[in-house]
Structure 1
Amino acid sequence: MSDTTTSNESNNPLGLSSIPSVSSEGLVPVGRRASLNSYIAALWNRRHFILAESRAKMSGSTKRNLLGYGWMFLNPILSVMAYWFIFGFILQTSRGVENFLGFLVVGVFFFQYTGKSMTGGTGAIRSGASMIRGFQFPRAALPISTVVRNFLDFIPTVLVMFILIAIIPPLESITWRVILIFPIIALQTVFNLGLACLLARVGHKLPDVSNFMSIVNRFWLYGSGVMFVIDDKLAGHPQLLAAMQFNPMYSYLELTRNSLLYGVDSPWWMWASAVLWAFGLLIVGFLYFWRGEESYGRF
């Protein structure tokens, strides 16, 4: 028997097979923040999971109601009726506003799209705590899933909006500018993604922020020109008017109204504001969320 065999038997007296060694190259601890390129690639690889989860939450919320998907149409319509009664009929903010009901429909429908993404994004990490503890995945999938779900809810309401505008007098003459609705919705969706990612980390660090979201949402609603024309009400306060026009929702609502209701061209600065807000907030919000990736498993 060779010396090599004798040496191996002395080192392994029980005759067990040797344990293979594994290189640690390329391995990272669980929860460690990946590089930005790897993180984005991982999100893209889980796009089907994000879409499936969004659809599951969407169907799960509707099954709990007797009318099911009907509330996707009734909620914005009832909101429009309530705002019309208070602001249009009682407070008479409809004076001087061409097609006030259409003006209100666009404002309510489009603002609710962003408002839901804001409140849902704020609680995305805490509502997904069990999933974070049980699975390893890019945590940005949670706020993104919230926005995707709201987008899926929003599409049918856009169809309802078109029907309401088409049948409620005064009837508007449709121009080629109606196709601009699609890039406007795309820009607003990009803006919602950035907003949800930004607030998801803020809501995780400061849980009490979620209690203020309804107040912030209401203040933002009144400051975005949903129920009245800001330009008329603040004509005597140019600095306040400029601050209100800097509001991203003001640009998205006015672009939609000009393209769909009034058939006129929007000023270039309004398009520039919509683009800068959308992609600027997406970059800032996503990077801010990504830098906190390691902390989302701690509650």
Structure 2
Amino acid sequence: MSTESFPMTWLDRAYDAYVRSSHVVSAQQLSTLSPVGQRPTLGKYIGQLRQRRHFIWADARAKALGSQRGTLLGNAWLIVKPMLDALVFFIIFGLLLQTSRGIENFIGYLIIGVTLFPPLQRAITGGGQVIKNGRNMIRGFSFPRAVLPISYTLRSAIDTLPPLAAVLLLVMILPPHAWPTWHWLLVAPIFLLQMMFSLGLTFFAARITTLFPDMRNIWPFLTQFWFYGSGVFFSYERFINHPAMLAFMDVNPGYLILTMYRNCILYSTMPDVRSWVMLLAWSLGTAALGFVFFWAKEVSYGVER
């Protein structure tokens, strides 16, 4: 016998009404919907990042100081490696090539350059890998992708603190000695501006590498040129006599950062106003432009390539 011959009970009618009403969406509900995968506005994007600030900090802390796990000396390599690098450069460039002539406290000069410039290189080489390394997280969760570059930069900042402390200790121990003065307090704002500049570099490198994966192999060569061209183990004035070229080299942010560190730590000299303005412009400008540059391609970072 057909089921249509049985009259509907009140329970059947209630269930049928519920099913029909559950498929009805009001105009107000429709207005709150947004397309899946659409890039949020810049203001909303910043708000989403702010909501995840605790996760960003926790992720950075969890991964910090972990690059040497599994080695015998562990995190001691964070300090030992820059010192070994400084020793190699001192023998090659200081003793054999005599680039130390005319530089006061060349040992301290070299240690600061070899220790505090590589974080800028890693902002580019490591920054180019953050989207690739975070691919599993991108697949599994919905979140603003800028979380990854910001977390990476915070992790890099934490990793740089032990070598920075070692630099301050070594310039006191090794002759000619550099003793602490109030100028050493200026190391903190220089460090913060350096990390802000590094964040901008990471934003740029992350987007460019995502669009052009071959850049992962090119960044190390470009940053090596930058390393050797930033006065890490020599002074420009000794090799360049052309005023225009000197002025051009002087705006190099890598050289500017190292010079400001050296003035404060080694020579007890406060960097001039021009240096502060230039570093502030490089840091804020690179961070702001890099953030917008990265945000503009937000929806492309989850696309499989």
**Which TM-score applies when normalising by structure 1?**
0.91
- Number of positions where the alignment pairs a residue of Structure 1 with one of Structure 2: 292
Residues 1-299 of structure 1 aligned to structure 2 (within 5 Å):
15=16, 17-18=18-19, 19-20=21-22, 21=24, 23-58=29-64, 60-234=66-240, 236-298=241-303, 299=305
Computing the radius of gyration over CA atoms, which structure comes out larger, 1 or 2?
2
- Segments of 5+ residues of structure 2 without an aligned counterpart are 1-6
Percent identity for Structure 1 against Structure 2: 40
2:65–2:158 CA contact under 8 A, matched in 1: no
1:16–1:70 CA distance, 2 compared to 1 (3 A): farther
Larger displacement relative to structure 2 (75-84 or 26-35): 26-35
SS at match of 1:153: helix
Deviation at 1:61, TM superposition (A): 3.0
Give 4+ residue runs of structure 1 displaced > 6 Å after superposition: 6-9, 11-14
Aligned-residue Cα RMSD (Å) equals 2.2
| Offset from partner CA, 1:97-140 (integer Å, 9 cap, x none) | 10001001111111012111221111111121121111111101
Task: Please tell me the residue identity of whatever aligns with 1:17.
Answer: Y
Partners of 1:293 and 1:179 lie apart in 2 by 38
| Offset from partner CA, 1:140-191 (integer Å, 9 cap, x none) | 1111111111101011111111110110111124332111111100110110
Partners of 1:26 and 1:170 lie apart in 2 by 68
Partners of 1:271 and 1:8 lie apart in 2 by 81
- Segments of 5+ residues of structure 1 without an aligned counterpart are 1-5
**Which TM-score applies when normalising by structure 2?**
0.90
* Matched residue, 1:3: none
Partners of 1:182 and 1:107 lie apart in 2 by 17
| Offset from partner CA, 1:15-56 (integer Å, 9 cap, x none) | 463353451333323332111111111112112222222233
1:286–1:163 CA distance, 2 compared to 1 (3 A): same
1:31–1:297 CA contact under 8 A, matched in 2: no
